[in-house]
Amino acid sequence: MYELKTLLPQFDIKLPTCMYDLKNVSLSADPATSTSSGGCKGQLRLFQSASEFSSSINSRNSVTCVLDLDILGRQIQHLLKDDTASIAMRQEKVLQQLEALKAQLGKIRADLGVCGKTVQHTTAYQNGGLKEVPLKDIVINGHPNFIPYALLALKNAWRDLYTVNVKTFTHSTMADIGPAAREFEAKLAKIPVNNALPNINVTLIWKNCEHTEMISSPTMYVPIYGEVNVIRYLGRVGPVEYRYEGSPLCNEIDLVLDICYQLLRCSTHKAQVAMVRLLDKRLQQQQYFGGSQMSVADIGVYSSLIRIPAITDKDLTPALLAWRKRAKLVTQI
């Protein structure tokens, strides 16, 4: 045979760790079943025509093997002999997961009605007369290149007021989330969870998606796109101190969040600097964008500036630099 040179170099391929491992189930020759009385070693001969088969049967020198069901059965038993225990364990695990899913579906069905027993609900006074409903868990799909730092900022800012319990998972579309996302996960895990406080459970899934999206309803898939809009949602269900619907600065906070939304979608550095100048005009001489107290507007601005490393200290005004130092004491990022 001709020897062929290697056309492609050896690549270090990183396989995903979030997928199941499948064993090789190909039939291999078993010494106990590879021989037969006719001298056949587990080979099956194929004939092109009926005449060739007939001549092979009549020939004394021809050795013909037929498919022996006993041999095939012993081979299958040999393959399954070592997997019986593992199959039983997997079956037991699947049954437990089904029981957990049944309980979860029962809870969702019960939550579709009016429930006033839980303390985690929106109130009629603080939310413009909305009907009281239980607070459901949310799911956020995010790309590792666009880390939602607002979750970490809110978790630190609400440490003594509200618990944001974040659990992270990796979707099969991501082979590696990268060092920045792993560092983000480590910082989230360091913040203790206080079960005595009202809380919301957030499931963050690293996924190959274009925009950060949030799914708040388990019964229908209606995503909310953009980290800024996720901040708006959490600000409405979070602690009372950060709910801004009844504040005189409600429109001002929404305007600052809109500027953050545009800032994250600027394609040039010049456009980014222009958005930073708009933020400086909104801040003016205030300590925070919501006045004298920290608000979700400050969380949105702080997270947006972290996500855009092209904006350096030279692009920030003295007022924004002083604000960032004050905000860092609260967000601890």
**Would you write out the chain's pLDDT as a tens digit for each of its 333 residues?**
778 777 766 767 777 776 667 666 555 544 444 444 444 544 445 455 555 555 655 554 444 455 567 777 777 776 666 667 777 888 889 999 999 888 888 887 777 653 444 444 444 444 454 444 556 788 999 999 999 999 999 999 998 899 899 999 999 999 899 999 999 999 999 998 888 888 888 999 999 988 899 987 766 677 889 999 999 999 888 888 898 888 888 999 999 999 999 999 998 999 999 999 999 999 988 899 988 889 999 999 999 999 998 999 999 999 999 999 999 998 888
Is the distance from CB of 202 to CB of 140 less than 8 angstroms? yes
Question: What's residue 72's pLDDT?
Answer: 74
> Position of tokens 């895990």?
189
Per-residue model confidence (pLDDT) at position 118? 44
End-to-end CA distance of the chain: 62
pLDDT score recorded for residue 134: 55
Distances in Å between the Cα of 100 and the Cα atoms of 93, 104, 212 are 11, 6, 28
Neighbours of 322 (CB within 10 A): 13
| pLDDT score, position 114 | 39
Torsion sign, CA atoms 300, 312, 264, 155: negative
